Chains A and B, each alone.
Chain A
Amino acid sequence: MKHTSRKWSLRIVVIGYLGLLVGLPVGFLLIHAFNHGLVAFWREVTKPNAVAALKLSVEVALVAVPVNTVVGILAALILARRKFFGSRALIVAFDIPVAVSPIIMGVALVLAYSKIGWFGQWLGDYGIRILFTPVGIVMATMAVSLPYVVRSVLPVLVEIGKDQEHAARTLGAGSFRIFWQVTLPAIRWGVLYGVTLTIARTLGEFGAVLVVSGDITAKTQTLPIYIFAAWDQNFDSLGAFAGAFVLASISVVALIILSSLRARERKLHVDLA
């Protein structure tokens, strides 16, 4: 009896904690997004500026996620398979963009690429503008979502070790085949997890993007910035709620796809002993 009551009180604490921090706010968001009915919600999310913001966010993700995935896998392979001078420092360097506040990354990017710095001036001489353009937004987004793939793939690579790759090599396989047929299948869950986190961060990034984008409506406004602008400047709370609902939905769908893929895989193979 006593045991059961303790189990229940623990559950209530956990559920209560989650409820206060996640459930309640998201619930209110849901209620308010649909407060004025589906028609009003649809009108809000199909406003030209909202559509432009969503489009920009998706475009940024379409560039940033694949690039960061490829770079992340390559970096993890190098860091896990080759020990070289400074490799530890490099692992730490990959974490810097998420360890510091996004605002700092944004400001740092402005310093580097605006006319303030010699590099930005030099680029300007060749007519290359990065700040206040989608290119700048992509760069800021890639910077803040850089470590996720590296960080989720690196421990998996270290854990599986080199034996499978060595076995494949003695069986005659070249590096390309070893990567596609042995290494990548072995790290696929790490990659998928990292990609999911990267997508979430890429779509949701606010601070760094705000600083480098210049917040130009319908031009350099990503969905999170649109939501903030609607809420803060245009007193359009329904627009903010509707946009927030769309943004949250995309992330939740990504999470659901990931976990259902995993469940299917578990069913197919008795789990690794």
Chain B
Amino acid sequence: MKRLQRIIGLFLVAACLLSGCGAGVQPEGRGEQKRDVTIILKAPVQEMNCISNPEITNTQAFLERVGYAFTEQYEAANVTIDVKMFALADEVSAVAETFDTEDAPDILYEGYFNMAGYIHTGRVVPLDDMITEAIRSDIYDSAWTISMTNGKTYMMPFLTMQNILIYNKEYFQSCGLDAYCGEGTEIQNWTMDEWTEILDTLAANLPEDVHPIAMYGKNNQGDTHIMSYLRAFGSKIFDDEGNFDLESPEAVRALEWLQGGVERGWYPPHPENLEMKDCSELFSTKKMVLYNFNGANKSLYDDLNHYGFVNYPGDVATSFPNGFEVFDNGDEEKVRIAKDFLRYLYETPEWLELSAGNIPMSKTVAEKHAGQITMLSDFVANSGHVVDFMNNSPNWQGENDSVRSVFYPHIAELLAGQVTPEECAAALNRDCNAALESGRQRSVLHK
């Protein structure tokens, strides 16, 4: 118990109590004539591992359960929470393309790496007025930091997932790489030389239809993981101005290293034609040794001893916070009800505890379920390797000229050997920075 407390204590190093913010917010309009209101709550399909309620296995069940409970107790209006689940690949169609239509989301629940971009559209409302002192003090400060833009809170952190790599120990052992296998669920770090050796060894010794590591470039799914590889030789990706800086020697070297893997047999043939989902299936069918892992792959949990965990090359990990945004679609009452919904969720322990399974953003929940959350201690221990892969950049997701839209085609060209690493770096710098600049120019924050 003391050990658990220590681990949590480490995770909470950056945490501090906030006071006085948004206390005592009461929903307006109470006592007025009840209106029928439908709140559209959208979220991508995602598995969930809820320790407090094993019946809830995905975000749909979680959101529907909370939504129903909220409408049952809400008195200011006759509210219906319409939960709409979409595939991650349909993010643009389900969210950005529905703006200014009747299908526009009032609440969005998903990863910050997609949600952050919407803040700059001016549609996401600040939530500070609904965050009570109790709620603010219960959430880790580090979570508030990444939820804020220009001093206002636009996202409500609920849980987070750390992105690292998982590997199949059996293949390591069969290829004579036992020495690189870690203990238990510890998250390892390998030097770049070790990485090269490991991948070369796997490529040389694995069966023909088993591939050493995931690589893909067909679409933008999983592109942030690919972006992590660019840090392999010390590139921070962004310069001090927040622009992409991929023409640095470290970044170009990383691109060379990635491109070289094609010839060295590290990836399935023609990875430029693959997408992350293909690699996911290859890993799940044991046709791939190393693949992305963020704790959401609960199907692996029963067999974790067969897997090892390692940070991305360069000892890098990223985090995928998940949380909520509220959109202003021109109906003040809907905005008010959406905020009431979030306040209800964060003030109700039963619903807040559903974040336990992944890494909860609530200190109370983390403390309560620390011993039950798979690899929580490992992730806490690895938190020092976590980097902010988005750098709070505008126009990251959504528009055709967004960073995510222009990044992967250059990676595909690199993997296909159509461009040199230098050319790829220059193209990435050019297009990604143009996307950022476009985003900055378009950026509008909701008052």
Q: Do A and B come together as binding partners?
A: no
Interface residues of B, Cβ cutoff 8 Å to A: none
